[in-house]
Amino acid sequence: MITNSTPSVHPLQAAFFEQMGGPQQFQDLFAYLPDVYFFFKDTNSRMMGASSAILKRLGVNSEYEVIGTSDFDHFPSQLAHEFVRDDQAVMRTGRPLINRVEIWYTEQRLLDWFVTTKLPIRGRDGSVIGLMGTVRDYSGAKEEIQAYSEVDDILNFIHENLDRKIGVTELANIAGISSRQLHRRFVQLFGLNVQEFLAKTRIKAASDALIHTDDSVGEIAARFGFCDQSAFTQQFKKHIGETPLRYRKRHHCLPRI
Question: Tens of pLDDT along the chain (257 residues)?
Answer: 344 444 566 888 778 877 877 666 777 777 777 778 889 999 999 999 888 888 887 888 888 999 999 998 988 776 788 889 899 999 999 999 988 777 665 655 555 678 889 999 998 888 999 999 998 876 655 555 555 556 778 877 887 888 788 889 999 998 888 999 988 888 877 777 888 888 888 888 888 888 888 899 999 999 888 888 999 999 898 888 889 998 888 766 444 43
* 209 and 192 within one domain: yes
The residue from 89, 111, 142 where one domain ends is 142
The residue from 86, 111, 142 where one domain ends is 142
The pTM (predicted TM-score) of the whole model is 0.60
* 33 and 137 within one domain: yes
* Domains of the chain: total: 2
CA distances from 68 to 44, 95, 101 (A): 9, 24, 25
Q: How far apart are CA 79 and CA 137, in angstroms?
A: 17
Domain range for 199 is: 150-252
Report the CATH number that the domain containing residue 87 is assigned in CATH: 3.30.450.20
* 132 and 60 within one domain: yes
Q: At what angle do helices 229-240 and 244-252 cross, to 10 degrees?
A: 60
Q: How far apart are CA 177 and CA 77, in angstroms?
A: 36
* 138 and 28 within one domain: yes
Q: How far apart are CA 4 and CA 118, in angstroms?
A: 27
- Which residues on adjacent β-strands are paired with residue 117? 134
Report the CATH number that the domain containing residue 218 is assigned in CATH: 1.10.10.60
DSSP state of 97: E
